[in-house]
Each structure stands twice: as C-alpha cells, then as structure tokens.
Chain A
Amino acid sequence: MSFPEKMLRIDRRIIFFVIGLCTLLPLLYPVDLPIIVTPEVRMVYDYIESLPDGSVFLLSMDFDPASKPELEPQAIALLRHAFSRNLRVIAMTLWLPGTGLAEQTVNRVAQELGKVNGEDYVFLGYSPGVGALIIGMGQDLYKAFPSDYYGNPTKTLAVLKDVPNLRHVDYVVSLAAGTPGVETWYLFGKDKYQFELGGGCTGVIAPGLYPLLRSGQINGLIGGMRGAAEYELLIDQSGSAVAGMDAQSATHFAIIVLVILCNTFYFMTRRAAARGG
C-alpha cells in the first residue's frame, strides 16, 4: 500500500485527536477574533429593541441538554436583552427533557438582573401536546397552563395580567434543536394568532430554516453558536458563545485542511493508478 493510500485509510481516532486539540487549545488560549453581525441576527435584536416597556415576550426553549452548548448561550443573551428592556418574559419549553435546563437558565439570568418571578417573568415549564398546546395557548393561555412550573395559578400572576392568549404576546422566539420548534410555532401559532415570530436553532438545522426567513414566516434567525456570539456582541455582553468562536474557527479550519489533504492524497492515488494502469 502506497503512502497516499495509507493516508486515505488513516485511523479515524487520529482525526478525532486533531479535532479535540483544535477545540481545547483556543478555549485555553483565546485569540478573540472579530465577529461580524449578520442581518438575520440583527433583525431579532432590532425587533426586541423596538418593543415598548412591558411588552410581552415569549421564549420557547425547545431543546434538550444535548444542544446546551449552542442554544443555552442564545437563551441567555435573549433573556438578558429582554429583561434589560423591561419586557414581561414568559419562558417555556416544548421538550420534556429540556425542562430542568430551561428553568435553570431563566432563573439564573433573572436573578442576575434582579427580576422577580411572577412579576417580571414566569416559567411555565413543559406541557404535552405540542401543536395542540400552542393552539390551546392561542385560545386560553390560563387554561393551557393553569399553573406555572412551581404550581402558582397563572391567572393570579402579575406578569400574565391581561395576557389571556397568544394574541396578546408581542414577540415569540423559539430556540429549537429540531421538531417541535420554530416550524411548529409558525404552523400552530403565528399562522393562526398573528404574533411576530423569531427563531434560533442549532447550526445543523440552520440551513433548513432559511426558507422560512426568506418568506417572512420568521423575522430573524439566530443560527448555532455563531448566532449566539453575534447576539452577545449586540447586547455588549460577551459570554460562552463568543469564547467558543475561536474553537469553532479552529475546528472549521482543521476540517478544511483535512478535506484538502484527503483530496491531495486522492489525486495522488488516482495519478499513480493511471500511470500504473
């Protein structure tokens, strides 16, 4: 077996090791490369900026712990922005395994900004039904969620005063790791109850949501850790996403180098075969 052939059949654990190093080293020794804010992320930011004090903002954290590295920074940045704009925040999730994570995130950011549960924000938790749940919220939010995550009746909460259904919500953002997620909120929510909808998602499914963005079905899109980093820059509070961007840069370039290498070896083997044959 020739050298290029050997290289093409390289043990994949070597590739794993290279990717591991490219992730670890930039996290230990950050370079802080400049990040350019894309229009789709700015659109979400601008819309929240345009909402007056006391507007109702619903954040649906539709992800599980697996997507935490990408979507939690988005949730934190959005919550920081919404709280700093004095919006009334309703947080919930359509993913049962994500309930604990969503609760921790909301409470952490709320405490950081001195917001009071029940007055400035509410965590509704998880309820089954997905599309039917959203329709139920569109009809009667107090009936769809009779109590919040902690068992407080939603009808008595100051933050939900005069918010009987989704028509009274000014902006909904779904941070999705798949389905149910942004498309579900569009289909069963925005399509029926005419609120404005924004989206956030993992990098893997971001390209799939661009058609929704282009057709105006969502008014902005925060894609993956890159999107989270852009949002952190917009609110001027760098967090884990900005820190992770160096690692992402390094891994992307490692993959590019690997692809170039494998093609070089591929063409070397092809040429050798042509010469031999």
Chain B
Amino acid sequence: MTAVIPGRTLSGVCLPWVMLLLWSLPLSAQAQDLLPAPEQVQVFDTPNDAGQSLTLLWADSLRDGPGVRYQILIAPVADARATAPAVDPAAMEIVAEIPSDSHYVRDRSWPWWTHPAPPAFHRYVINSRSGLELMNDTPYVVTVAAVTGEIRTFGPAIQAVPEPNWVNWNQMNNLLLLLAFGAGVFGSIRTAKRREIFLRRIPGLDAVDEAIGRATELGKPILYLTGAGDMGEPSTIAAAVILGRVSKRVAMYETELIVPHRDPIVMVVCQEITKQSYLEAGKADIFKEDSNFFITTDQFSYTAAVDGIMLRRKPAANFFMGSYFAESLLLTETGASTGAIQIAGTDSDHQLPFFVTTCDYTLIGEELYAASAYLSREPVQVGTLRGQDLGKAVILGVLALGTGLATIGLILDAQWPALLLDLFRDYK
C-alpha cells in the first residue's frame, strides 16, 4: 500500500502501481525486458527547506547512459483522504526529462547526518515554479519513468506531501560550533575572574592617552567617528563602546570632544554613552549634549562635512573607529594634512591599506573588538578576548587536521575522514 507520511513518504509496494501493472501487463512485460523500470524509488518532502518542494530518489541502473533518459512525472491527488488514489502514470504531467547519466545524489555535498541515499542514486528535486505550483500540505503523486525510443517503463507512483520544515538539520554543525564557541567564551570569562590573563600590547590603544594628552596641551578638540554602520553592526557597537572609554578620559582632561554621526540611532546611543562617561568621571557639569551630532546619512556629503570640520577646527587627535568604505582615505588624508594624531580601528578589511598608510596607528580587524578589553581590563572583556583566541586556535587546528584528513581520504579513497570534516563544512 502507499505510505503517506507528511514530510517523508517511504518507498514501498504501491497499490495503484500494482493495479496499473496488472492492467497493462502484456505491453509492460515486453518493455520491461528491453528497459527495466526504475527501482527503489522514494518520494518525500524535501527536508530542511521552506516547503513547496518534493524530492525523488531512485537507484541507478546498468542501462544508464546515452540513449536512455528519465522522465519525472507528477499529478495532484484529487481526494487526499484516499489511501490509494489510482493514477495512470502515462496520464501524469511530465515535469522534466533528464539524461540517465545525470542528477546523482553525489552531485551535491551532504553532511553524513542528513545524507539521503547512496551517492550513486539519482536525485531530482521538484520545486514550485512557473506552470507548476506545488502547494504546501497538499498531496501529490510522483513517479519516474525510464525512456528509450518509444519504450517507457514506469517506477512506482508514490504519494507525498510538500511542507515547510522547522529545522534545517544540515546547519546543525553550525549551531553546535556556535554553542561550543559560546561555552568557550563563558569558560574564559570565568578563568579571567579567577586569575589575571596576559594581554599583548596594542600600540594603537597605548597611543589613546598620548593623543588625548596632546589635545589637552594644545587646547584643541578631539574628533571621534563611529563609522558608516548602523547600531546592528558589531563594529559600530565596538566603536560606541570604545567611545565610552575615550570620552571618560577626555572628560577627566576636560578636553573638547566632537562626534559627528551618519546614523541618527547611533547618535542617540553615543549621546547616552558619553553622558554616562562624563558622569563617571565626575565631570557632568562640562558635558555638552551637542558634542554628538548628526550630519547626514549620505556617504560623501558626510565626508565633505567632516573634512570641513577638520580643516576649520583642526582637531589634535582624530579617531576613526567602526566600518568605512571609499570615504576612509578622504577623511584620513585630510586629517593628516592638518597634522593631527590619527588612530583608526576597523573591520572593513578593504579599507585597511588606506588607514595603515595615512594613520599613525591602526587597529586591524579583531583588534577593534579587543580595544574595549584592553582599555578597561575588566575580567569579562579580557575573558572574551581569551575565548576568541581559543576559537582561533581551534580553527587553526581544524585547518591543519582537515588538510591532512582530506589528503588521506583522497589517497585511500576512504569515506571515514568525512565524519570529522563534515562537522566543519558550510551546508545550506
């Protein structure tokens, strides 16, 4: 009988197929001699997807090759309650006709924990598309036919129901690694609370005090930019966090701080952060609400305005933290022409060459995230940094081990290295 299981319909002896087989026996028997029907056919809802899709699997055949093709056929089930809807395969709609030496399971990479069938099996995914709309939670009958010349032999017609899935099991390795990394970070924070952890010097951050001191001596302001990103970007958050530390020292020295913004939400958040810093420094009376101000969201209009501020106000120190694009060099080169000390920190790797060339100090990539820990020395921050380093060590180890295992797997033509390698692959 036909097994109808929402989500996955297993192959089995299919009643309509048996009925049809009996009905068309003489012709079919002849055809079967010339061209065996597809075997071990499975039809099920495509797993790990948003629905409107069915997957068809069938075993490869000795007859696969030039001259033989496969037809994928589908028909909606009129009466969903019927356990064995009788459908004539010959009357079903042809979804696709493919060469018999194509569409294998091995064509796509699968993690071992969701591998659908042996690599040599054929696989065809029927997706909803123009002219063929697959509705979720609606049963369909699907089959595959082998075709050569005028002869067509059908596999069993199997009923299945497309439906959206709640979990993408292919990505579970990703979740596992995230949880492991999170656990590593929390473990490191615990360690950092118990004992002191060594932090290597970051010259760019050592220079923060020097820059603020110089500005104070010269009686000039300090310019701090939080980059082009919005509050959803980690680099902007890191820039805002560093602003908190910098503004506290600026408040202690009673130096003027200028923070022009490209994003109004970032402006509001930074206003709060600087206010808090001035409060903590005991200098709430000299805090200016409009030290943080909005210019425009437009890239080059903002750049022109900040360049203007640099040329008119001649800040003694310029901080460029956060993410940047083509405006980076326009900002830093103008800053360099005014003789300011310039400290940059960005995760925009494509802008690093410009910052390195024109700034006195540059925090490269993750150093931007490390800055907060370096400036505060709080166990939570330092512990997180250690967690990051552990993560990096694991990645380095996996790169070395993975290269070795992949090589061994190729040499020995063995599948077992995949047990480990799959854990670190990106699957969709």
Contacts and interface: CB of A to CB of B under 8 A. Distances in A.
Given A178-B325, A191-B428, A204-B326, A167 B350 contact: no
B131 interface: yes
Contacts of B349: 208
B130 A202 contact: no
Interface residues of A, number: 21
Interface in B346-405: 349-350
A205 B323 CA distance: 13
Given A12-B337, A178-B325, A208 B299 contact: no
Given A162-B131, A191-B428, A205-B350, A177 B298 contact: no
Interface string B213-246: 0000000000000001000000000000000000
A205 B325 CA distance: 8
Contact of A163 (B128, B130, B350): B130
A240 to B, nearest CB: 20
B236 to A, nearest CB: 12
Q: Is the interface of A mostly helix, strand, loop or mixed?
A: loop
Q: Is the interface of B mostly helix, strand, loop or mixed?
A: loop
A261 B428 CA distance: 52
Contacts of B228: 178
B129 A168 contact: yes
Interface string B127-154: 1111100000000000000000000000
B300 interface: yes
Contact of B299 (A64, A162, A168, A194): A64
Contacts of A237: none
Residue in B129, B131, B300, B326 whose Cβ sees the most chain A Cβ within 10 Å: B326
Contacts of B326: 66-67, 177-178, 202, 204-205
Interface string A58-85: 0000001011000000000000000000
Interface in B313-333: 323, 325-326
Given A162-B130, A191-B428, A97 B350 contact: no
Interface in B290-311: 298-300
Nearest to B329: A204
B402 to A, nearest CB: 15
Contact of A167 (B129, B323, B337, B428): B129
Contacts of A12: 337
A191 B170 CA distance: 13
A179 B299 contact: no
A164 B299 CA distance: 34
Contacts of B128: 167
A177 B300 contact: no
B350 A207 contact: yes
Nearest to A194: B428
A259 B128 CA distance: 58
Contacts of A162: 129-131
A179 B131 CA distance: 36
Residue in A161, A178, A179, A202 whose Cβ sees the most chain B Cβ within 10 Å: A178
A167 B299 contact: no
Interface string A158-172: 000111100110000
Interface string A132-148: 00000000000000000
Interface string A187-217: 0000100100000001011011000000000
A178 B298 CA distance: 13
A64 to B, nearest CB: 7
Contacts of A194: 428
Nearest to A161: B130
A162 B132 CA distance: 10
Contacts of A205: 325-326, 350
A161 B131 CA distance: 11
A67 B299 CA distance: 11
Contact of A168 (B130, B300, B325, B350): B130
A66 B300 contact: yes
Interface string B56-81: 00000000000000000000000000
Contacts of B428: 191, 194
B325 A179 contact: yes
Contacts of B130: 161-164, 168
A184 to B, nearest CB: 12
A39 B130 CA distance: 34
Given A177-B326, A204-B350, A66 B127 contact: no
Nearest to B336: A12
A209 to B, nearest CB: 8
A177 B298 CA distance: 13
A60 B375 CA distance: 42
Nearest to A167: B127
Contacts of A66: 299-300, 326
B175 to A, nearest CB: 16
A194 B131 CA distance: 19
18 contacts: A12-B337, A64-B299, A64-B300, A66-B299, A66-B326, A164-B130, A167-B127, A167-B129, A168-B130, A178-B228, A179-B323, A179-B325, A194-B428, A204-B350, A205-B326, A207-B350, A208-B349, A208-B350
Interface of A: 12, 64, 66-67, 97, 161-164, 167-168, 177-179, 191, 194, 202, 204-205, 207-208
Kindly list the 5 A-B residue pairs having the minimum CB-CB distance in the complex, ordered from nearest. Answer: A162-B130, A208-B350, A178-B325, A205-B350, A204-B326
